[in-house]
Amino acid sequence: MKNITHVGLRAIGLRCQDLRALDLSGCRQIEDKGMRCIAGGLWELRVLRLNRLRKVMDEGVCEVMQCCRKLEDVELDETPNVSDKVLRGLAMYNPGLLRLSMKGCSFVTDGGVRDLVKGCGLLSSVHLSSCKQLTEGTVEALVEMLPRSLHTLDLSDCARVSGSTAPRKLATGCPLLKVLNLSGCLGLKASGLAWFGRPEAAESVANLRELRLGRLPDAVSTELAMELARPGLGVLSLQRAKTALRERSRHGRGGPQGDDSAPAGDAARGIIARSDVLLAALGGTQAVEEAAAGRGRVGASERGAQRRAAALREALLRDERAASGEWWAQDDEAVRGAAVVEAAARQDEREAAKEQFRFDGVEDTVGVSSEASSAGSPVQSRLA
């Protein structure tokens, strides 16, 4: 669709005046003239997608906002020349806006977002990932102005959204929030993210179903994962370990930038495959443990399951550390992890064999005694 220009849009504007949705994403030849054609006739538009239009400026988009006043869903992803003027135009002429996506728009600032939410109080879905100028001021404006309508927020890769205040306000101030993506906001602190799992915020985050915190190496840890674990959460993304591992496995040794500390591709793929197997085995051993607890009796098989579960957890922990950057000890730890699991399995087999041997021995003894009593002793036979 690269060759569509304002001439084609003029025809659409004249002949399709009842059009409700228009998607011009990737039509690189469209300029502000094309925006004026939309503004001149498509006044019933509800959905407008203008993604990746590199020749479109603020003035053309604002003219559309001024004439098309029923817009509910607007996308301007990676349209690099738009700025806060568009946000102010939306706030002024489209107060019924429900969804906005401006991913990768570098000229959008906290002030523009604040003006937007002042005028568009019904906004429920906001996508502003990779908007490099946004800070925690954007979070404050969203929480302050949209506490009862916001249910989806994407601020991924907004590097200046940092600290602990922003996640704490989101956890305590948006009770209807269902989907939150803060992946790649490298300055966020674990103390703020932990609010999504704290009892004090339980009521505020009761509706949260999807939480994405990928690529946060300084904040995400086992302790944070334990804090965030709660019923009702459908998707929890802590991508860093496995994604980084798969990325490096695709590029082979040294990773995409030639980092000598990264493992070889085959070794990385081996860790991934073994982690999947370990997780499946761990699920089986935990099921055995739960069954034993339900019966109130622990035998050799249950004790073996407990040992295997401990060994599997230890091996998974080693894989997690290796995946998060401790590549130098990967091969040794992989061997040791496999050895631990194998040793636990052998120990389990020995315990089961011993218990079976004791059981068989008791049966044999009982059998001999019963035969002797039924046949009588040799002395009794002679006396008879």
For the chain, the domains span: 1-46+54-70, 83-238, 241-367
Average pLDDT value for residue range 259-270:
42
State the burial class of residue 67 (Cβ atoms within 10 Å of its Cβ: 0-12, 13-18, 19+): middle
The pLDDT confidence band at residue 357, using thresholds 50, 70 and 90, is low
The pLDDT confidence band at residue 151, using thresholds 50, 70 and 90, is very high
**CA 35 to CA 84: how far, in whole Å?**
18
Query: What is residue 368's three-state secondary structure?
Result: helix
CA-based diameter of the chain, in Å?
A: 126
Phi, psi (rounded to 5 degrees) for 22: -140, 125
Query: What is residue 69's three-state secondary structure?
Result: coil
Higher pLDDT pick, 160 / 366: 160
Tell me: the pLDDT tens digits for 184-211? 998 999 999 999 999 999 999 999 999 9
The pLDDT confidence band at residue 329, using thresholds 50, 70 and 90, is very low
Cα 334 to chain centroid, rounded: 26
Fold of the domain spanning 83-238: 3.80.10
CB 268 within 8 A of CB 248: yes
**CA 175 to CA 206: how far, in whole Å?**
7
CB 65 within 8 A of CB 90: yes
Tell me: the pLDDT tens digits for 46-74? 999 999 999 999 999 999 999 999 999 99
Tell me: the pLDDT tens digits for 107-140? 999 999 999 999 999 999 999 999 999 999 999 9
